[in-house]
Amino acid sequence: MTALLRRQALPLALLLALALVPVLGVQDGFSLGLLARAMILGIAATSLSLLVGGAGLASLGHAAALGIGAYAVATLDLLGITEGAVVFPAAILAAALYALLTGLVSLRTGGVHFIMITLAFGQMVYFATSSLSALGGDDGYTLYGRTEFLGARLLEGRLPFHYLCLGLAAATWLFCSMLLESRFGRVLRAAKEEPMRVRALGLSPYPYRLVAMTIAGALAGLAGALMANAMEFVSPAILSWPRSADLLFMVILGGVGHLHGALLGALALVLAEEVLSHLWDHWRLLFGPLLILAVIFLRGGLAGLPALLAQKLVQTLDRRAR
Amino acid sequence: MLRRTVLGAAALPLLGGLARPALAQNAPVKVAFLGTLSGPAASLGNQLRDGWLTGVKHLEGRLGGRPVETLVLDDELKPDVALTKIRAALERDKVDFVVGVVFSNMLQAIFRPVTESETVLITTNAGPSTYAGRGCNPFMFTTAYQNDQPHATMGQVAQEEGYKRVFILVPNYQAGKDAVNGFKSRFKGEVVDEVYVPLNQLDFSAEVARIAALKPDAIFTFMPGGLGVNLVRQYRQAGLANIPFLSTFTVDEATLPAQQDAALGFFTAATWAPDFPGEASQRFVRDFEAAYNYVPGNYAAQSYDAALLIDSALKATGGRTSDKPALRAALEKADFPSLRGRFAFGRNHYPVQDFWLCKVVKRPDGKFATATVRKVLENDTDPYAGECRFRG
Amino acid sequence: MSGLFLVQLLNGVQLGVLLFLVAAGLTLVFGVMHFINLAHGVQYMLGAYLAASLGIWTGSFWLGLLLALPLSLAAGLLLEFLVFRHLYDRDHLSQVLATFGVILFLDEAVRALWGSAPLPVPQPEGLGSIVLMPGLLYPVYRLVIIGAGLGVGLLLWLLVERTRMGMLVRAGASNAPMVSALGVDIRRLFTIVFGFGAMLAGFGGALAGPVFAVVPRMGDTVLILAFVVIVIGGIGSIRGAFLAALLVGLVDTLGKAMLPDLLRLVLDAAPARQAGAALASMLVYLLMAGILAFRPAGLFGGVRA
């Protein structure tokens, strides 16, 4: 238990900090809204991290699953269904189904081809939603109320929504961590690192990867349903390819190979964008080089930063001691 | 529908509790300007912003006697970005007004939070049908038009000119479909073909070839921003300029700097053009060009009018924004000298005004601008106004 | 209608040729250095902006085009020196993130320098139009684009297949450490290939300027399509990129021109137009997914050059 605590100290501290934010007095709608957005994107990024870090599958179409979750909420709203017990499972199932069907085809490829074929499927969904006249097409669809649970408007309050997002982000992280530690996860990781040996053992990575894709899709669908509720608005922008790229960057910036890095990356990107865009109109002139520098110097991503600093500290102390 | 009302009622006491205290006469009026200021459509946002700023400048930086503070926000043409920034402006910066908004889909994204917080929203370009009829809202005003009206103006022009066969070309999104409906509401001749192109269309040569093959009497198109630049250039290059080019938001001061000669003689519909007579209008054009070094279009004029509108309303309320019914009543009067001359609000807070046929000309100083040809619709009310009933 | 079909065919080839100019650099850089360069699209944009600005400055489109080439090359080399060089030995994901940073920076820099309005582009002087079908003038410049693209394709093929440099590039693609061990300065080879690819993309942008709008972020759409092209063609294969570019250009153009009419055979006019437009946008991606489903490495995957 203590070993687990030490190993997972960083993610636990991160989750604790997020839980303490409202307690420490930050309760205004704007800040909590921003954090909710970051946490929801964090859920989607964590599910993508399961694919990238766990299975070596860099999908550039993950926002499609996110968007399908959000569009499920909008579609049901259009039909007058706002009951959470229906809406959330429907969003999750729809996104999982999408991931399963596209996975059947895209997993035949690998590497860059996988990136491109997932992008292709994502673009198809994007153009399809753009032409959905009933849901506003490109203009999007405004939700006039959030999802309810047995008639109770649980999601309307800022604090309940904050803790719901946090709870689901924590659950997603825990679930994905356990999944990667399980036999299933070990096969998945082995297939990424030593494909030859896995094949030699008579295991085909294909079904494992397919299941991983479906699970990641389902989690992204969950994030999408939350996103629709947070924004009270759904438009094709949520599943455009730059959004997929954003998710991928959150994973990479946070650190591939650390599941909690995805949440960290999501927070970092959302907050950095908010702060920088406030400082300067041409803030991307700063943000672009920052990303480049982060890649060149932060090899383990943000999640690897504490270890890197600790290592540097030890080295310095060592040198002093000598 | 029922749900929305209940929700609105539940939200009111909560928000009422947060209402800002009546501010002293000297505290600044805070205005959030939202526009598309990056990407291919940014020239539209620049027109809106610079028109607003010119209006504020002419009022010596004061609205209704109070100094004004404008927060300029770029929606990046992404609904989620627009929403995030507007929420910040409402909840963190506690703005009194939201003005601007180029595109209807950006308006749709921000509409609920702005109006539900009882902040006055004055759009200076976007005017979708959604909020003109049943969906109208007492806190929303527009100094522009209802989107159908410019398209309908062109339909009227085609009808009056006696064109029998018209070719329609629009982008494949909601506003494009609205444009077709608006045009057809007044044009009764034959539509030889309706072509919908993707919003990211690079090349119009396929469509241009089709027009050449069908030989219509005229074409009607709505191609905002970069799309219009491509279309106009290729239309001219293909030698089709002898087929009248009727358009909305395709050849105007936002795109003419890039289209230049290629757009000469092409038609557009507008509420104002830089050649409008009158000292106020001419002073606006002069000062705008001196400050920003490009020609203002009707986008800029509509934004300028929004500054005058708020000024007139705040003068009437003694600078107070807290008494919402009084503020609304003062805005509804529209008691300001509009650049367009006559200007009044209909019951849905959309203007009742004249629409003009304009044509692209080259001015003596070498710059390109639109110029009025003739008045097409007089005191035109949009078709949805009758359905508007304000709640509460 | 055959005149119309001919025009659409030429339009498709022209789009294909422009895509090829962008895709050629992308596939070379990827094939030789195994480097994913998302910033390749901004180099296309940079070429268009440079050519347009220089064209206005010199008063001649052709002069602008000519001057834009060395500047595009220089910009590519500078980027290689400042950024890309530090990323060759990194995994693909890091390259994706860092080159995305380059996109953000350059897109914003273009916006800060040139403003966000579409740029006026001088029209190529000295070329008229020809009549391919009654009532339609077809600008000769568009035929020039096609010619230039085919010429560059041929030149590239000769360079890669018939010169010592090309041989090194091919060898570097299949086994870089071996080439390096044979005493070839592989870093310099990379730099040259990189600069050359950037110049080709810049050339494509400069050629496209008079036809398409020169606007910030014009490279993004082209980048995605160029990636589609190199994936369909098989990564690293110039021949594959060439054929795939033509295929994508033709499918996209002809799809947009004909799908709505085809659908009208089975649907009502209004839904057919809208479904047709939506489907036409998807067509290229459907094509790619279809090809990858049956040939996971692309049409010419595994076959070099």
The pLDDT tens digits for B189-204 are: 999 988 888 777 767 8
> Looking at B35-39, C49-53, C275-279, which range is the least confident one?
C275-279
CA pair distance C104, C116, nearest whole angstrom: 14
Residue in C98, C102, C288 nearest the CB of A116: C288
B-contacting chains (≥3 CB pairs under 8 Å): A, C
Mean pLDDT throughout A244-248? 89
Contact between chains at C298 and A133 (C-beta distance less than 8 A): no
Residue in B88, B112, B174 nearest the CB of A139: B174
Nearest-Cα distance to chain A for C275, in Å, is 8
Which residues in chain B (66-95) have CB-CB distances under 8 A to chain C?
A: none
Contact between chains at B7 and A28 (C-beta distance less than 8 A): no
For residue B123, the surrounding DSSP H or E stretch is strand B120-123
Nearest-Cα distance to chain A for C212, in Å, is 22
For residue B99, the surrounding DSSP H or E stretch is strand B97-100
**Could you tell me which of A57, A102, A110, A60 has the C-alpha nearest to residue C298?**
A110
Homologous superfamily (CATH) of B7-145+276-351 is Response regulator (3.40.50.2300)
Can you list the domains of chain A with their CATH numbers?
2-321 (1.10.3470)
For residue C208, the surrounding DSSP H or E stretch is helix C186-208
- With contacts defined as CB-CB under 8 Å, which chain B residues touch C117? 42-43, 46, 254, 257-258
DSSP string, C38-58: TTHHHHHHHHHHHHHHHHHHH
Checking if the pLDDT of A30 tops 70, the result is: yes
Confidence of residue C35 (pLDDT cuts 50, 70, 90): confident
Q: Establish if C44 belongs to a structural domain.
A: yes
Report yes or no: C112 at the B interface, CB cutoff 8 Å: no
Checking if the pLDDT of C7 tops 60, the result is: yes
Residue in C87, C235, C282 nearest the CB of A123: C282
CB atoms within 10 A of CB C125: 11
Q: Is pLDDT larger for residue B56 or for residue A148?
A: B56
Sheet containing B120-123: which strands, arranged edge to edge?
A: B62-63, B66-74, B29-35, B97-100, B120-123, B140-142
- The total number of structural domains in chain C stands at 1
Contact between chains at C1 and B46 (C-beta distance less than 8 A): no
CA pair distance A210, B295, nearest whole angstrom: 58
Under a CB-based contact definition with an 8 Å cutoff, are residues A287 and A276 in contact? yes
Checking if the pLDDT of B175 tops 90, the result is: no
For residue C74, which phi and psi values (nearest 5 degrees)? -65, -40
Mean pLDDT throughout B307-319? 93
CA pair distance A322, C94, nearest whole angstrom: 37
CA pair distance B33, B85, nearest whole angstrom: 11
Contact between chains at B212 and C116 (C-beta distance less than 8 A): no
Contact between chains at C137 and B206 (C-beta distance less than 8 A): no
**Could you tell me which of A33, A213, A233 has the C-alpha nearest to residue A109?**
A213
Helices (H), C34-139: 40-58, 61-82, 92-114
Distance separating the N- and C-terminal Cα atoms of chain B: 15
Q: Establish if C216 belongs to a structural domain.
A: yes
Q: Do domains B7-145+276-351 and B148-270 have the same CATH topology?
A: yes
Q: Establish if C64 belongs to a structural domain.
A: yes
Under a CB-based contact definition with an 8 Å cutoff, are residues B371 and B273 in contact? yes
Q: Which residue of C has its CA nearest to B229?
A: C213
Checking if the pLDDT of B19 tops 70, the result is: no
Q: Is pLDDT larger for residue B232 or for residue C130?
A: B232
pLDDT tens digits for range B252-301: 998 898 888 899 999 999 999 999 988 999 999 999 999 999 999 999 99
Report yes or no: C109 at the A interface, CB cutoff 8 Å: yes
- With contacts defined as CB-CB under 8 Å, which chain B residues touch C263? none
Which residues in chain C (213-232) have CB-CB distances under 8 A to chain A?
A: 224, 227-228, 231
Q: SS3 letters for chain A?
A: CHHHHHHCHHHHHHHHHHHHHHHCCCCCHHHHHHHHHHHHHHHHHHHHHHHHHHHCCCCCCHHHHHHHHHHHHHHHHHCCCCEHHHHHHHHHHHHHHHHHHHHHHHCCCCHHHHHHHHHHHHHHHHHHHHCCHHHCHHHCEECCCCCEECCECHHHCHHHHHHHHHHHHHHHHHHHHHHHHCHHHHHHHHHHHCHHHHHHCCCCHHHHHHHHHHHHHHHHHHHHHHHHHHHCEECHHHHCHHHHHHHHHHHHHHCCCCHHHHHHHHHHHHHHHHHHHHHCCCCHHHHHHHHHHHHHHCCCCHHHHHHHHHHHHHHHHHHHHC
Checking if the pLDDT of C304 tops 70, the result is: no
**Could you tell me which of B382, B224, B85, B355 has the C-alpha nearest to residue A30?**
B85
Give me the CATH number covering residue C172. Answer: 1.10.3470
CA pair distance A27, A21, nearest whole angstrom: 8
Distance separating the N- and C-terminal Cα atoms of chain C: 39
- The count of CB pairs under 8 A between chains B and C is 128
Report yes or no: B181 at the A interface, CB cutoff 8 Å: no
- With contacts defined as CB-CB under 8 Å, which chain A residues touch B199? 130, 138
Mean pLDDT throughout A24-35? 81
Confidence of residue A16 (pLDDT cuts 50, 70, 90): confident
A75 burial via Cβ count (<10 Å: 0-12, 13-18, 19+): buried
Contact between chains at C215 and B240 (C-beta distance less than 8 A): no
For residue B39, which phi and psi values (nearest 5 degrees)? 85, 180
Under a CB-based contact definition with an 8 Å cutoff, are residues B312 and B141 in contact? no
Specify the residue for token string 């003739």.
B374
Residue of B6, B72, B173, B177 to mutate, interface with A, max A Cβ within 10 Å? B173
The torsion of the CA quartet B181, B186, B191, B197, rounded to 10 degrees, works out to -30
Checking if the pLDDT of B70 tops 80, the result is: yes
Report yes or no: B80 at the A interface, CB cutoff 8 Å: yes
Report yes or no: C275 at the A interface, CB cutoff 8 Å: yes
Confidence of residue A4 (pLDDT cuts 50, 70, 90): low
Cβ contacts of B317 within 8 Å, gap of 6 or more: B64, B323, B326, B327, B330
Contact between chains at C104 and A284 (C-beta distance less than 8 A): yes
Report yes or no: A28 at the B interface, CB cutoff 8 Å: yes
**Could you tell me which of C206, C181, C214, C235 has the C-alpha nearest to residue C23?**
C235
Cα angle B133, B134, B136; round to 5: 70
Report yes or no: B174 at the A interface, CB cutoff 8 Å: yes
Q: Is pLDDT larger for residue B64 or for residue C32?
A: B64
Report yes or no: A148 at the B interface, CB cutoff 8 Å: no
Q: Establish if C76 belongs to a structural domain.
A: yes
Which residues in chain C (195-214) have CB-CB distances under 8 A to chain B?
A: 210-214
What are the strands, taking DSSP E only, across chain C? 129-133, 136-139
Q: What pTM was estimated for this model as a whole?
A: 0.82
Q: Which residue of A has its CA nearest to C31?
A: A112
Which residues in chain A (175-214) have CB-CB distances under 8 A to chain B?
A: none
C133 burial via Cβ count (<10 Å: 0-12, 13-18, 19+): middle
* pLDDT of amino acid B7: 36
Contact between chains at C227 and A124 (C-beta distance less than 8 A): no
B341 secondary structure, DSSP code: B
CA pair distance B378, B357, nearest whole angstrom: 12
Q: Establish if C1 belongs to a structural domain.
A: no
Report yes or no: B225 at the C interface, CB cutoff 8 Å: yes
pLDDT tens digits for range C127-185: 777 777 777 788 888 899 999 999 998 998 888 878 887 887 777 767 777 777 777 77
- The count of CB pairs under 8 A between chains A and B is 72
Report yes or no: B109 at the A interface, CB cutoff 8 Å: yes
Confidence of residue B15 (pLDDT cuts 50, 70, 90): very low
Which residues in chain A (72-131) have CB-CB distances under 8 A to chain B?
A: 82, 127, 130-131
Mean pLDDT throughout B326-330? 93
Contact between chains at A109 and C296 (C-beta distance less than 8 A): yes
CA pair distance B285, B371, nearest whole angstrom: 13
- With contacts defined as CB-CB under 8 Å, which chain C residues touch A295? 87, 90, 94, 97-98, 101
Contact between chains at B175 and A145 (C-beta distance less than 8 A): no
Checking if the pLDDT of A308 tops 90, the result is: no
- Percent of chain C at pLDDT exceeding 70: 97
Mean pLDDT throughout B305-334? 92
Confidence of residue A6 (pLDDT cuts 50, 70, 90): low
- With contacts defined as CB-CB under 8 Å, which chain B residues touch C256? 197-198, 206
- Percent of chain C at pLDDT exceeding 90: 20
A-contacting chains (≥3 CB pairs under 8 Å): B, C
Nearest-Cα distance to chain B for C150, in Å, is 20
Contact between chains at A128 and C289 (C-beta distance less than 8 A): no
Structure tokens at C155: 């030149």
Contact between chains at C116 and B225 (C-beta distance less than 8 A): no
Range of the domain at C92: 8-125+136-294
C-contacting chains (≥3 CB pairs under 8 Å): A, B
Residue in A33, A82, A140 nearest the CB of B105: A140
Q: Which fold has domain B148-270?
A: Rossmann fold (3.40.50)
Cβ contacts of C12 within 8 Å, gap of 6 or more: C246, C249, C250, C251, C252, C253, C254
CA pair distance C186, C203, nearest whole angstrom: 25
Confidence of residue A3 (pLDDT cuts 50, 70, 90): low
- With contacts defined as CB-CB under 8 Å, which chain B residues touch C213? 40, 226-227, 229-230, 258
* pLDDT of amino acid B288: 95
Which residues in chain B (160-219) have CB-CB distances under 8 A to chain C?
A: 172, 194-198, 200, 202-203, 205-206, 208-210, 212-213, 215
- Going B78 to B80 to B83 to B86, the CA torsion angle's sign is negative
What are the strands, taking DSSP E only, across C134-275? 136-139
CA pair distance C91, C229, nearest whole angstrom: 22
B391 secondary structure, DSSP code: -
